[in-house]
Chains A and B, each alone.
Chain A
Amino acid sequence: MSGPYLALLQTHAPLLMIVVPLVGAALVLISGSARLAWLVAWLSAGAAAAIGFDFVARLLSADSAVTIVQVAPALHIDGIGAFGAALLALTLTLCVIATGASLKDAGAKEAPVSLALILCAAACWIGALLARDLIALVAAVEAAWLASVGLAVVNAARERAPLNGALRMLSLGGAGGALMLLGVAMLGRAAGGFTLDALPVAHIRMPNLASAGAALIMLGLAIKVGVAPIHAWNAAVLGRGNAMVVSGVGALGVLGALSVLCRFAAYTITAPEIGAAISAALAGLGAVSVVFGSVQAVGAGNLLRLAAYAGVAQVGCVLMSVGLGSPAGFAAALIQLVAFAAVALAFYGGAAAGRVQSLAMLDGYGQRAPLASAAIAAGALSLMGAPLTIGFLGRWRLVEAGVGAGWWWAAGLVIVASLAGVFYGGRLIERMYFRRANTAYAGEGSVWRLVLAPALLAAIATIAIGFAPVFLLRAADMASGMMTGIGT
């Protein structure tokens, strides 16, 4: 009886991944109480994640043909987009669970609005990952970005510092949005159309104009990712934000923007006329980001800022992987996207459980909050690139692909990033497990135990995938091989 309906749902899975969080956001807004809103948000995010995982599993399983109906001509499915969308939906679910701790902090009136904005932002990032043309991509990215800005503003009721971060987000992101629109105009003119999947095979009449257009779009996306040195909003928003802000902007927002940047770069880098220029731009941006992020993370005195800067260094590694322009490079980038999501969830979740901000508050944290400390320690080990963690896996694949392409300098930068990770990650572990507490623990009873689940799951995934990487490696390889797109 339910078979035909299930088949219908599966056929329309890409559209549902966008619509379900949006419907959830609408229900959250009318749900009234903060806890009911949280439950509704959790259910809708979980439904989107289930749909996404089912879709990607069918897409990547070699023995089953996926039928995708042309429900909307604006959608186009490819490996990186589908992989990123499913990862984003899963991250959304975990972020929503983690925000349960800060419903009181956010305020009874603000919490439902915050949750609705998180769901809207995720839906828009997923929309950008599945968009067929450049105009839809830019519109979805801007909508997601403004939802993130709104999230920072809404959560500045008690602590005003995120307002300053929101202003920086608006200024930088707004300028980036104008550059993206300009880039779309230039690239569309040069390529003779605005369809993303046609770029690799388009006869580009004006390569210089096309390169400039693609570079402007990537610059606009890089601002939203927080790529150094254009990441002035990053620490300002995340440094003193509550769990809503760090989860919604630091984990979900950055992951969404980074996935969209990877997808866009993968299309443009395979266009013969402009590929070399895009590759050079990505490599340069990635290298600068690794160096800046690592140096700033070493000097950070605030755990949330340290996590933000460490994320900048991780983003640099992802950009270098995509810059290789090969299936091996795309696969390395996808693995690092998973690593980024796991580390962000572990760090931000572990910190939110005890309301930790400054590094001094980590002293003796291992005794006061062993589970939260374990999550942060797992994230730190992954940032170091310690063997048997997902961080090691991603960086190893980057080194492999980089050396194969003659990019020895990229391998050197990965080692630099890992050495810096040993320094700042080791400092966190030393503070948590080898020092006495000097501040009162703010977390304890009022924090629901459930909210630690995302951080612990992320920590377990960080280690478990390091031990048994076959599934992720296979999925990333298959997804990177599907950049020519399927269906529709």
Chain B
Amino acid sequence: MAAASLEPLLAAGAIALVVIGAMAALLLANVVKRIAALMIAGFGAIVALAALGAPDSALVAGVAVVFAQTVVGVAIAVRLQESYGAIEAPEIDSADGAGDARDEAP
């Protein structure tokens, strides 16, 4: 009888985390929630690396990437709040809309 392995289960869970995180990062309006979603996607990818037998260096690289993304994301959220007074993407888009209309005028 072959030994049972958790690998497929872990890999499937990791892939689900990446998909959920990536979709949320693209669809959520709130910038802070987007950053959290990116962290979920990133950690899902790290779990996938671990589950599929990647070396330790790959996991360290993955953690570094997620950490760097989070730091830059928080900096952007702070700058958006300072410049637009909002961290909701639709409000920021509508504030930029007026400027775009001015640019596009023939």
Binding site for B on A (CB under 8 A): 135-136, 138-139, 142-143, 146, 149-150, 153, 156, 160-161, 163-164, 166-167, 170-172, 174-175, 177-182, 184-186, 188-189, 194, 236, 239-240, 301-302, 357-360
Contact = CB atoms under 8 A, between A and B. Distances in A.
Given A194-B54, A301-B105, 14 more contacts: A142-B65, A142-B68, A146-B68, A166-B76, A174-B25, A174-B41, A178-B18, A179-B41, A188-B53, A188-B54, A189-B52, A301-B103, A301-B104, A302-B104
Given A135-B57, A170-B69, A175 B25 contact: yes
A84 to B, nearest CB: 22
Interface string B63-106: 01100110011011001100110000100110010011001111
Given A163-B80, A172-B26, A302 B48 contact: no
A194 B54 CA distance: 8
Contact of B26 (A171, A181, A194): A171
Nearest to B61: A139
A240 B105 contact: no
B103 A357 contact: yes
A185 B48 contact: yes
Given A161-B99, A175-B21, A358-B105, A181 B64 contact: no
A194 B57 CA distance: 11
B68 A181 contact: no
Contacts of B93: 164
A178 to B, nearest CB: 4
A160 B58 CA distance: 36
Nearest to B64: A139
Contacts of A172: 26
Contacts, number: 143
Contacts of B79: 153, 156, 163
A170 B15 contact: no
B79 to A, nearest CB: 6
Contact of A171 (B25, B46, B51, B96): B25
B52 A188 contact: yes
B83 A302 contact: no
Nearest to B70: A174
Given A164-B96, A194-B54, A359 B106 contact: yes
Given A178-B42, A301-B106, A360-B105, A185 B54 contact: yes
Contacts of A138: 61, 65
B73 A182 contact: no
Contact of A177 (B55, B65, B76): B65
Contact of B46 (A181, A188, A194): A181
Contacts of B42: 174, 177-178, 181
B83 A156 contact: yes
18 contacts: A135-B54, A135-B58, A138-B61, A138-B65, A139-B61, A143-B68, A160-B84, A163-B76, A163-B79, A163-B80, A167-B31, A170-B38, A178-B21, A178-B41, A178-B45, A181-B48, A182-B44, A184-B49
